[in-house]
Amino acid sequence: MTTSTVREMALRSPEMKRILWRVGLALLAVFLLLGGIKFWQISAAIAGHASFSPPPEAVTSMRAEQSVWQPALELVGSLNPSRGVTISAEVGGTVARIGFESGADVKQGDLLVQLDTGVEQAQLRSAEAMHELARVKLARAQKLRAQSAVSEQELNDAVAEEHRAAASADELKATIAKKTIVAPFSGRTGIRMVNVGEFIKEGVAVVPLHALNPLFLDFSVPQQQVMQLKLGQQIHFAVDVYPGATFEGAVTAIDPQIDPVTRNVRVQATIQNPEEKLRPGMFARVSLILNEKQQVLAIPSSSINYAPYGNSIYVIEKMKNPKGEEYLGVRQQFVRLGKSQGDLVAVLEGLKPGEEVVTSGVFKLRPGAAVQVNNSVMPGSDAAPNPADT
């Protein structure tokens, strides 16, 4: 009897069949039990995840309110003296006297530098003597001509001689006056550039002189805003020398021509400087006040979630979760923005007055997220900020 025949007989045995059925049923029960346990675990995890709610995010907020903005152009400019020159010698000569100190205040007509005029004074006395002689001769010629004792030609010669002598004296007086250098206007002198005994040539600089009150503030405005410029417009400006201080002035001149290279127009404002705190040459950050006021809905720029597909904000309002429980959440709202002013930005569309807007913590929010408002530390919301370290 072969091995295969014995195996077939064993399989046909009723006892063996029962054993195989019991083993199969046991294996099936084990598989069903393991599958049920895993199904229960997965169902419990899904139910737990559905019922889980993350803790609310801490944010700051403010209610959007209408405010009035005074539009202004932010520009840069430079302070210049209303009257300022570097005084130079009109004629050459030796410095005989200096009538001022460097950095001193002088009045119009005060002597600054006197050049030596000894030769010219001697020549002037000679010329005045010749002039006096010519006047005497003219008077005699006029008397004799009245008596027909001299010809008309001799009288004309006497007149010409008297005029020539007077012109010669006047020429010397003018030369002496040019060697007497005086202040053309009241102001403050700079550092003198000449010394007593020094020979200076024609055109050599002697000393700068500047009037410090008032001053001019020169700046340029883009051509797009030319039609908004008017004489008398108010400006505010700041200089680095006085942190936190703001100065004022008014537009007094507008250049009629637009620069063909920069496409800007030059504007000049007059600044009163009675205490002489400001000096020519200072750099100034200028705010040109435009005449038209605007009603805007402004919020801090930190509220804006900037994105290529559109800028948005988060509005805080009461919401309900899937269980119907009420909570404080956020709604993402796309907005259209206008101009910025300081820390604020104007919202043209997408926001209504009175709505509560998230002002910080925007980056960690998502639509429907729960939030907790904590306004103990608020971001900047000043239309004209003035940081302490600027």
Name the residue type at position 7. R
Three-state DSSP at 290 gives coil
Measured CA to CA, the distance from residue 28 to residue 298 in angstroms comes to: 70
Sheet of strand 57-63, all strands in order from the earlier edge strand to the far edge:
326-334, 312-320, 356-360, 57-63, 371-373
Rounded distance, CA 217 to CA 235, Å? 10
- Our measurement of the distance from residue 185's CA atom to the centroid of its chain's CA atoms, rounded to an integer in Å, reads 33
Angle at 202 between CA 196 and CA 203, to 5 degrees: 100
CB 295 within 8 A of CB 68: yes
Question: Is cis: bond before 214, omega within 30 of 0?
Answer: yes
Q: According to the CATH classification, is domain 57-69+294-373 in 2.40.420.20? A: yes
Q: Give the global pTM.
A: 0.60
Q: Map tokens 């005045």 to a residue.
A: 128
Kindly give the confidence (pLDDT) of every residue in the chain, 390 residues in length, as a single tens digit, with 9 standing for 90 and above.
Answer: 555 555 555 555 666 767 777 777 778 777 777 777 777 777 766 765 555 566 788 888 888 888 887 777 888 999 999 888 888 888 888 888 888 888 888 898 888 888 888 887 888 888 788 888 878 877 887 887 777 776 778 778 777 888 888 888 888 888 888 888 888 888 888 898 888 888 888 888 888 999 888 999 999 999 888 888 888 888 889 998 888 888 999 999 999 999 899 899 999 999 998 888 899 999 999 988 876 777 888 888 888 888 888 899 899 888 888 777 888 888 999 999 888 777 788 888 888 888 889 988 888 888 888 888 887 776 666 555 555 544
On the CB side of 83, how many CA atoms lie within 13 Å of its CA? 12
Query: What CATH superfamily classification does 74-80+211-289 receive?
Result: Efflux pump adaptor protein, beta barrel domain (2.40.30.170)
DSSP state of 348: E
Taking the alpha carbons of 350, 352, 356, 357 in that order, is the dihedral positive or negative? Answer: positive
* 92 three-class SS: coil
